[in-house]
């Protein structure tokens, strides 16, 4: 197993792609701390279900209810992970606002919604990195995987706040690679194209997605994205940092 004895934190891990990341890393031997905001009972139930599914695989997991936009919450999450598992080796910055967004011209987007998207998608990732950094620095090792998006390269009509936030993740990844590298901490990003996920199905009919411009002629799956993240979280990517891996079947090449 590629992640035996490793400890991974997955933000936004209650459901969807976050749950898929947590399960994939657990299958490779990692112990998992699932962090998710709890705004309703279902959020807590979903987070507990992720933990249950990991335990059903024979893995070990804990959950932490918290908001990634809160410095206090992210610090408490890191402390809880160390208390439970003794270390933090991997951070998957998955928490983001995407599900539920409605496409609008840029001059009609509510400024409060802009702030919420930028707050969770960019500030949240920044704070999560700051929270785990002291632990990884003391260990002189760590792997951080940020969730970017193909749209940071190609744009997307009516989603200027989301696209801008993912452009921020791309730049954040590069900037932090310079500061984290001397501590043997690798930070990279995965940029999915449109993927058949729970969130994507809430936004569009995925069965009607045009794959004619995709060389591999199919829609991405969660397994495609989690596989890329697993590579960046493992020892196989020890000499890779500051990079963004686009996982979209070849639709965008750079």
Tokens of 62: 């804990």
pLDDT for 192 beyond 70 = yes
Tokens of 13: 């891990």
Query: Do the domain assignments include residue 87?
Result: yes
Q: For the chain, give the percent of residues with pLDDT over 70.
A: 96
Query: Do the domain assignments include residue 196?
Result: yes
Tokens of 199: 């969130």
11 in helix, strand or coil? strand
What local confidence, expressed as pLDDT, does residue 206 receive? Answer: 66
Tell which residue, 226, 227, 121, has the closest CA to residue 164: 121
Query: Do the domain assignments include residue 145?
Result: yes
Cα 120 from Cα 16, distance rounded (Å) = 17
What local confidence, expressed as pLDDT, does residue 213 receive? Answer: 87
Q: Where are the alpha helices (DSSP H) in 181-215?
A: 198-203
Tens of pLDDT, residue by residue over 123-157, are 999 999 999 999 999 999 999 999 999 999 999 99
- Domain residues for the domain of 108 are 7-247
Beta strands of the chain (E only): which ranges? 7-11, 31-36, 61-65, 90-93, 142-147, 185-192, 244-247
> Using an 8 Å Cβ cutoff, are 65 and 32 in contact?
no
Cα 163 from Cα 152, distance rounded (Å) = 5
> Using an 8 Å Cβ cutoff, are 11 and 36 in contact?
yes
Query: Do the domain assignments include residue 191?
Result: yes
Tens of pLDDT, residue by residue over 84-126, are 999 999 999 999 998 889 999 999 999 999 999 999 999 999 9
Q: Is the dihedral of CA 27, 130, 47, 171 positive or negative?
A: negative
Supply the residues annotated as catalytic.
162
Percent helix / strand / coil, the chain, rounded to 5: 50, 15, 35
Query: Do the domain assignments include residue 253?
Result: no
pLDDT for 198 beyond 80 = no
* Rg from Cα positions in the chain: 17
Backbone angles phi and psi of 93, in degrees to 5: -85, 85
CATH code of the domain containing 192: 3.40.50.720
Q: Name residue, tokens 């449109």.
A: 194
Tell which residue, 148, 178, 188, has the closest CA to residue 166: 148
User: What total number of domains does the chain contain?
Assistant: 1
Query: Do the domain assignments include residue 12?
Result: yes
Query: Do the domain assignments include residue 175?
Result: yes
Query: Do the domain assignments include residue 252?
Result: no
């Amino acid at each position: 197993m590629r992640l035996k004895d490793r400890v991974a934190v997955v933000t936004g891990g209650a459901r969807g792609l976050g749950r898929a990341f947590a399960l994939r890393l657990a299958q490779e031997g990692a112990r998992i701390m699932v962090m998710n905001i709890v705004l309703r009972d279902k959020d807590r139930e979903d987070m507990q279900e992720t933990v249950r599914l990991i335990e059903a695989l024979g893995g070990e997991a804990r959950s932490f209810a918290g908001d990634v936009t809160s410095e206090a919450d992210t610090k408490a999450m890191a402390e809880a992970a160390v208390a439970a598992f003794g270390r933090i080796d991997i951070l998957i910055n998955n928490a983001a606002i995407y599900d539920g967004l409605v496409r609008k011209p840029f001059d009609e987007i509510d400024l409060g919604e802009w702030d919420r998207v930028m707050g969770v998608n960019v500030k949240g990732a920044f704070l999560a990195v700051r929270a785990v950094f002291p632990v990884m620095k003391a260990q002189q090792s760590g792997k951080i995987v940020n969730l970017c998006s193909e749209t940071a390269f190609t744009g997307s009509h009516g989603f200027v706040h989301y696209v801008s936030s993912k452009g921020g993740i791309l730049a954040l990844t590069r900037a932090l690679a310079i500061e984290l590298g001397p501590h043997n901490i690798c930070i990279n990003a995965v940029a999915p194209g449109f993927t058949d996920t729970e969130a994507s199905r809430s936004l569009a009919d995925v069965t009607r997605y045009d794959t004619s411009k995709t060389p591999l002629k199919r829609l991405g799956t969660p397994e495609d994205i989690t596989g890329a993240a697993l590579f960046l979280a493992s020892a196989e990517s020890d000499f890779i940092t500051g990079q963004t891996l686009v996982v979209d079947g070849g639709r965008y090449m750079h």
